[in-house]
Amino acid sequence: MFCKYATCRMKHGRKQYYVYILASKKYGTLYTGITSNLVQRIWQHKEGLAEGFTKKYNVHHLVYYEIHSDVYEAITREKRIKKWSRQWKINLIEQNNPQWLDLGIGLF
């Protein structure tokens, strides 16, 4: 499920959690992560403030995300996606974002 609002923050006073996939480019390097503040986290990736894999491989295009209201559900989903084959991840992205648009544009 995609957030329709630029804020992507709490809805009705409940904290939300985001499982997301970043790509370096279409069919490029993929990274799966989790956060409770999608706007801030994507900004950190784009500005190179997130040390590690995404900075090293220039992975900062948000190509997929989903919203969860339960942190344990979000963690479970992130772990499940991380275990998927690369092709399954590509299929998930293409079902929801066939043009691999950077969904992070317009978040901030």
- 85-97 pLDDT tens trace: 999 999 999 999 9
Q: Is 60 exceeded by the pLDDT of residue 9?
A: no
Tracing tokens 């709490």 back to the chain, one arrives at 10
20-45 pLDDT per residue, tens: 999 999 999 999 999 999 999 999 99
Distance (Å, whole) CA 93 – CA 21: 8
- The rounded mean pLDDT for the chain is 91
**Across residues 76-86, what is the average pLDDT?**
99
If one compares 7 and 86, the residue with the highest pLDDT of the two is: 86
Instruction: Calculate mean pLDDT across residues 67-81.
Output: 98
Dig out the tokens for 77 from the structure. Answer: 């989903």
Fold of 17-96: GIY-YIG endonuclease (3.40.1440)
Q: How confident is the model at residue 12 (pLDDT cuts 50, 70, 90)?
A: low
What pTM value is reported for the model?
0.88
